Amino acid sequence: MGNDEISETVHDVILDVARCVQPTLSELQAEQELVDHLGLRSMDLARIVAMLELRLDADPFAELVAVTSVRTVGDIVSAYQMFFSGTHARSGPVPEQEQAIERGRARREALDDGQRWRAKKRAE
């Protein structure tokens, strides 16, 4: 996955969530602060991370980047670009990357199982 595709996907997800707070918001800039400029709260950030995990099959915040360090739209884009590059800014290849991918898949499968179970219960 290329950096442009990652950036576009991250921007799309953040914009979707940010429009719940600011319905007239039309575009994002990398330097926009999530809290001060966009008015997002911690639950909004959690929602963004969950949606991106499902869309990108990745969770850079599991091992690679502290979610508490994220302040701007660009910070989130950079975290996912770093994840997909397979390198850590300081130490080369990221040995935790495969584990993080597997944890993301397991979470998604658990969500899918829960949705199937609820659908089955509704049908009964």
* pLDDT for the residue 98: 61
Q: Which two tokens stand for residue 116?
A: 């199937």
Directed axis angle between helix 3-21 and helix 42-56, to 10°?
140
Full-model pTM: 0.69
pLDDT for the residue 53: 93
pLDDT of residue 18: 96
The CATH number of the structural domain formed by 3-123 is 1.10.1200.10
pLDDT number for residue 93: 44
pLDDT of residue 97: 56
Low-confidence ranges of the chain (pLDDT < 50): 89-94
Q: What are the sequence ranges of the domains in the chain?
A: 3-123
pLDDT digits (tens, 9 = 90+) for 86-111: 765 444 444 555 666 667 777 777 77
